[in-house]
Structure 1
Amino acid sequence: MKSPRRTRFSQGLYSMAIILGFWYILHVAVGSAAIPSPHETLVHFVQALPGKLSIHLLYSLGRVLTAMVVSVVAGSALGIWIGSSQKADRLITPIVYMLYPIPKIAFLPILMIILGLGEEPKVLLIVLIIVFQFTMAARDGIQEIPKELVFSVASLGVGKWDRMIHLIIPAILPKIITTVRISMGAAISVLFFAENFATTYGIGYYIMNQWAMVNYKEMFSGILALSLAGYLLYQLIDGLDRKVCAWVHVGKGSKSKLD
């Protein structure tokens, strides 16, 4: 029986082979320099990564991870408060429902006017877009805790801090990590947009700048770097999930799906 780590590695290779196969078919079908061959792009990627490409990628990863940490902490804290207090739920939830659907990506010019042209407006834009997802995840996680369990903990005289550590946080952790998975793609997409304004470092800027200069191999190298970074981030999230939510995965090693 294969180990989980070997299985994940095999799945990664299989997925990469499928993507490269479609890429090669597209390269042959288009027959244009606008779609360079996978081989040429991979060679250029290996050559460019130790240089300027890695610098652009690190800037982008720093922005995404900073925004994600801020969103998880702030959104979860607000969600715990809403989920634990009926009064707060009645007062705050309607406000969240009104603010969440607003296309906040249009706020980037305003944020740049207020905060300047540095890192803050880009990070804050991502936070504004994904923070409410964590608020709702934490609130729903608390409200889904069985009442019997809440009454049992209360009857034991457990304090608020111990209740938070041993009941509330374990209850919302799986939802929070699932929300991290969902939000990561949105965060990277928003960052790609934000990095095309008033910046000289970032993978979004790198890709669009190479496109404007008709350097298609460099452009696809940037896309490849972004794809691999996203893959590694999702693998990191999966590892964190298995580590901090081990009780959720108990028994999942056996085959349970219907064939």
Structure 2
Amino acid sequence: MSRRHLLLAGLALLALWQGVAMLVRQPVLPPPTEVGVALWQEIRNGSLGGHFLASLWRVVASTLLAIFTAAPVGLILGQSRRLNAFFAPVIYLLYPIPKVVFVPVVLLFLGIGDLSKIVVIFLILFFQILVLVRDQAAGLRPELILSVRSLGAGRLALFRFVYLPASLPAILTALRQSIGTAVAVLYVAELFATQKGLGYYIYLNGSALLNYPAMYAGVVAMSVLGLGLYFLVDGMEKRWCRWQTAA
């Protein structure tokens, strides 16, 4: 998708927003021009920046933690039929459960700090990456593995030069699919007993202060956070998986 198409889509959404705001004529839905002014003011006074950085840290930390734990586990399960058969029923039961239901439980056990919010997002990303990487590793053609083994490659070399490169697209696909859910759960997690984060900022301005332009400025900032992460993953896929994008 070209930048021109993205720009046109963004302008169309802004025009739709402006039209609906003109029809509704309610303070709860300010026009995008008013929200843009509020967004600039909140950035200038530093109020929105601190909340944005707090949310960004939580998402990035949970994403890195999920990659470095779920990807190796998925590769191991994909290589070993015995281990996969043992753990598959557990994964099958846990994977479909919406991880947002664990927010109160995690908060009770880990408190109201950053750790609880990182763990909640980690749970979402972990199972997404684990399942996709496992299936990708298990679906590798046997002749490819045999040809590499015939050159004297051991298990570590297979892991590094065959399973990991072959599973990299699955890891990035899982991240792309999970970003929207992770940001949504981040909003829910930041509503509980915290004073930092975009979720808290949106709730404070919308429900307590009734400052609707600032509330929508927070929504825009959270949207930018999700879109930025999505485009980052998309760029990594184009850079690291060129054979796939070319195909």
Query: TM-score if structure 2 supplies the norm length?
Result: 0.95
Tell me the alpha carbon deviations over residues 22-72 of structure 1, each in whole angstroms, 9 at most, x when there is no partner: 101110111111110111111111121241101101111110111111112
Match of 2:66, as an amino acid? S
The 8 Å contact of residues 125 and 175 in structure 2, kept in 1 or not, is answered as: no
The 8 Å contact of residues 130 and 186 in structure 1, kept in 2 or not, is answered as: no
Tell me the alpha carbon deviations over residues 120-147 of structure 1, each in whole angstroms, 9 at most, x when there is no partner: 1111111112211111111111112111
The 8 Å contact of residues 125 and 174 in structure 2, kept in 1 or not, is answered as: no
Note if 1:219 corresponds to 2:212.
Answer: no
Structure 2 unaligned blocks of 5 or more: none
Structure 1 unaligned blocks of 5 or more: 1-6, 252-259
**1:1-259 pair list within 5 angstroms:** 8-50=2-44, 51-212=46-207, 213-250=209-246
Equivalent-residue separation in structure 1 for 2:191 and 2:234 (angstroms): 30
Equivalent-residue separation in structure 1 for 2:204 and 2:117 (angstroms): 18
Quote the RMSD (CA, aligned, Å): 1.4
Equivalent-residue separation in structure 2 for 1:230 and 1:90 (angstroms): 36
Match of 1:233, as an amino acid? L
Equivalent-residue separation in structure 2 for 1:162 and 1:103 (angstroms): 37
Tell me the alpha carbon deviations over residues 94-152 of structure 1, each in whole angstroms, 9 at most, x when there is no partner: 11111122233222222222212211111111111221111111111111211111111
Match of 2:232, as an amino acid? L
The alpha-carbon deviation at position 17 of structure 1 amounts to 0.0
Query: TM-score if structure 1 supplies the norm length?
Result: 0.90
Aligned residues: 245
Equivalent-residue separation in structure 1 for 2:111 and 2:27 (angstroms): 38
Match of 2:210, as an amino acid? V
Match of 1:234, as an amino acid? Y
